[in-house]
Amino acid sequence: MAKAKLTIQFGTKDITIRCHKCKGLDFDIPREPKPEDLITCLGCGESGPYGEITTAALEKLHQKRDEIISVLIRGGKTTH
Ligand SMILES: [Zn+2]
């Protein structure tokens, strides 16, 4: 286990995940995390399985992207 930032790949971007409780960026993460490995926030001690955290984060990112797309369609007036 080592102090590290938790990042996931989303498309071509690396997204850094924050702790949902304290917004901390430092986690105790195994060098090669497996889905069932526990990730612990060094700020508040909150922990969860690596697989669940990354899956939830990806879902949120997808939702956010859908939100942006739907807003753009709803407000879809051409400017020229
Ligand atoms: Zn925390």
Dump pLDDT digits (tens) for 16-46.
999 989 999 999 999 899 999 999 999 999 9
Asked if the structure places residue 9 within a domain, the reply is yes
Q: Residues whose CB is under 5 A from ligand 1 (ion)?
A: 19, 21-22, 24, 41, 43-44, 46
Region of 18 please: left (phi>0), alpha (psi -120 to 50) or beta.
Answer: beta
Structural domain of residue 42, as residue ranges? 2-74
pTM: 0.76
Q: How far is the CA of 64 from the centre of ligand 1 (A)?
A: 22
* β-bridge partners, 26: 5
Q: How far is the CA of 66 from the centre of ligand 1 (A)?
A: 27
Q: What pLDDT is attached to residue 75?
A: 64
H or E element at residue 28: strand 26-29
Checking if the pLDDT of 65 tops 90, the result is no
Whether 15 and 65 have beta carbons less than 8 Å apart is answered as: no
Asked if the structure places residue 8 within a domain, the reply is yes
- Please state, in angstroms and rounded to a whole number, the distance separating the CA atoms of residues 33 and 30: 5
Asked if the structure places residue 80 within a domain, the reply is no
Question: How many domains does the structure of the chain reveal?
Answer: 1
Asked if the structure places residue 79 within a domain, the reply is no
Instruction: Compute the mean pLDDT over every residue in the chain, rounded to the nearest whole number.
Output: 88
Q: What pLDDT is attached to residue 76?
A: 55
Q: How far is the CA of 65 from the centre of ligand 1 (A)?
A: 25
